[in-house]
Copies of this chain bind each other. A is one copy, B any other.
């Protein structure tokens, strides 16, 4: 099986497969006489595993760790729990900040009902005012507010 067929079968782009090889997630496959990569069914399963983990947004370093555990089935699976927990925490943290972000953008969007001159635009006014540390829909009173705060998302 050549790289193109592997790509079509798994839905992973050819460039990405080669990238995974460089990154050490896939071992270098055999080469045919013309230098083409030749993959075995085991490579297909391994790449499908990687692809599924990536669909779960698990970083490559974690996937590499999971693969090494898969390769040694006698090892303790406690680390697997830990990896999944870490990724879950990461996703939840990002989720919370994005929900706040959505609220802020919605509030901002509500500032401009009818398009007009930019100088009268509520959105722009809001952004400028917020940058100056005035009260705005984005920095609520509960927030630390002002120009020097740390409202990173």
Contacts and interface: CB of A to CB of B under 8 A. Distances in A.
7 contacts: A9-B147, A11-B149, A49-B127, A52-B127, A80-B124, A81-B109, A91-B105
A28 interface: no
A74 B8 contact: no
Grouping DSSP codes into helix (H, G, I), strand (E, B) and loop, the A interface class, with mixed when no group exceeds half, is: helix
Interface string A88-99: 100110110011
Interface residues of A, number: 66
Contacts of A124: 66, 69-70, 77, 80
For this chain, the copies found in one complex come to 2
Contact of A74 (B45, B80, B118, B128): B118
Interface string A110-131: 0010011111110110011011
